[in-house]
Amino acid sequence: MIAHLIEEAWEGDFAAAVRGVLPLLEGSYAILALCADTDEVVAARERSPLVLGLGDDEFFACSDATPPLSHIPGIFWSWKTGDLAVIRRGSVAVENGGETVVRETTYIDYDVEASRKGGFEHFMLKEIFEQPDVFQQSFRLACKHHGISMLLSRARGISVIACGTSYNAALLFRYFVEKECGVPVRVDLASEYRYLSTPGDEIVIAVSQSGETADTLSALKKAASSNCATIAITNVQGGSSITRAADDTIYTGGAGPEISVAATKSYMGQYAAFVGLLAGMSCSDMSAVERSVRQAIEESLLTDVNEAVSLCVGASTLFYVGRGIFYPVALEGALKMKEISYIHAEGYAAGEIKHGPPFALLSKDTPAVAVCLPGDGYQSMLGNLREMKARGTPLIGIGYGDDIDLQDVADVCIPVPPKGTHMRRWLR
């Protein structure tokens, strides 16, 4: 439709035709317009992501910074809403509202090798095994924001807005902070935030891997308009819309581009950022937390899960269940299963299984993955698992390797490393 509108507006000047069409467009868009009769490319955006990489007499325009980085240095022009760029051979002219403007550039420090498989069979496997480094780097970056941690520890309330995987990471933060620091935390889906109240004394944290998530940006702007202090957590360094909209930004270092569908590294990076903030809020030994969690991740990556995989082969539906902090883990597990395999999966708080359809749907054909570790709700969780087992459900238990009670009820047990001393009080 946009191409037809440009054709109708054509009067011999291609850039003028595109410029005349933009006021007719509603909603969000990012466009690159080309015409066979000119050597121009006209680029324009309204909220949707669009980057312009600057090389040596060459330019790359696309929706993400990763593709151009193998061709040019990491220098990108910082867009603003309403900008229009006319790209010609050897030059770029930028305007906004009909007036010529000059925009600053941003440098993105990026290792091109990060976008290659590096000997792994596929990108998802590579990104899974990059998680220890992602955690460590993101945790260290978050720990440097001591001022933000102190601000959060004194807050009357914290509101976190996010979508998808980022939402599940934020739920973990809520459980940890309310238990460890006593600060009330609200976690909302960014797409629903517009329908909710926004107390002006809240601190709002917006989480977006790309820094361009439309729903999260809209929610962040609403929070800012209510005079809330705002913080962004994002993986994109420099120039993203969310960093410009927030008062402060925490970057998830080391995550780099994510090639596979499953947001493995971005979830770990966001989790690490939240743990870093929590460590600052609770005055924990940061080096001990970093060492303990990294070691646990590394050991988990060596775990043989083939027996559990065999139990799920052929299933058309899976359930993931957990209590307390393991409920968000169950949600994320189900989301990953759906994203990767397109098998239907549901994440449930274990106590809710008997309050709705899931209990009636349990059978020998619906395997369940249960995260069950000693701590709050452990005995209740075992009771839930026995109820599920009575329905004939094949059970995969994730817990400590020496947990005899879990081994007694589960068909397959996936052992996790014993928790380190400095993580124990958070888990319990």
Residue 365: strand pairing partners: none
Domain boundary among 53, 87, 112: 112
Output the tens digit of pLDDT for each of the chain's 428 residues. Answer: 999 999 999 888 898 999 999 999 998 888 999 988 788 899 998 877 788 888 777 888 887 766 776 676 667 766 777 788 998 887 888 888 778 888 777 766 665 556 667 778 888 888 899 999 999 999 999 999 999 999 999 999 999 999 999 999 999 999 999 999 999 999 999 999 999 988 888 999 999 988 888 899 999 999 999 999 999 999 876 667 888 889 999 998 766 666 777 888 889 999 999 999 999 999 888 899 999 999 999 999 999 999 999 999 989 999 999 999 999 999 999 999 999 999 999 999 999 988 877 778 889 999 999 999 988 889 999 999 999 999 999 999 999 989 999 999 999 999 998 765 444 454 44
- pLDDT of the residue at 104: 72
Residues 179 and 53 in one domain: no
CATH of the domain at 103: 3.60.20.10
- Residue 128 lies inside a defined structural domain of this protein: yes
- Residue 180 lies inside a defined structural domain of this protein: yes
Residue 41: strand pairing partners: 34, 87
- pLDDT of the residue at 254: 65
Residues 132 and 256 in one domain: yes
Residues 294 and 308 in one domain: no
Residues 35 and 182 in one domain: no
- pLDDT of the residue at 263: 83
26-53 as b/e: b if 16+ CB within 10 A: eeeebbbbebeeeebbbbbbbeebbbbb
CA geometry: angle at 381 spanning 338 and 271, to 5°? 50
- pLDDT of the residue at 94: 87
- pLDDT of the residue at 193: 94
- Residue 117 lies inside a defined structural domain of this protein: no
Residues 241 and 289 in one domain: yes
* 120, 126 contact by CB (below 8 A): yes
Domain boundary among 260, 275, 302: 302
CATH of the domain at 420: 3.40.50.10490
- pLDDT of the residue at 418: 75
Q: How many domains does the chain have?
A: 3
Domain boundary among 79, 112, 145: 112
Strands 51-54 and 91-96: unpaired
Residue with tokens 């998530």: 213
Which residue type is seen at 220?
Answer: L
Which residue type is seen at 250?
Answer: I
Residues 225 and 171 in one domain: yes
The side-by-side arrangement of strands in the sheet containing 83-88 is 29-34, 41-46, 83-88, 91-96, 99-100
CA geometry: angle at 155 spanning 154 and 157, to 5°? 150
* Cα 286 to Cα 117: distance, rounded to the nearest angstrom: 32
DSSP 68: G
- Residue 255 lies inside a defined structural domain of this protein: yes
The CA R_g of the chain, rounded to the nearest whole Å, is: 24
Residue with tokens 């609200």: 186
* Cα 341 to Cα 334: distance, rounded to the nearest angstrom: 11
Residues 323 and 219 in one domain: no
Residues 296 and 409 in one domain: no
pTM score, whole prediction: 0.82
Domain that holds residue 290: 123-302
Strands 248-251 and 317-322: unpaired
Residues 105 and 145 in one domain: no
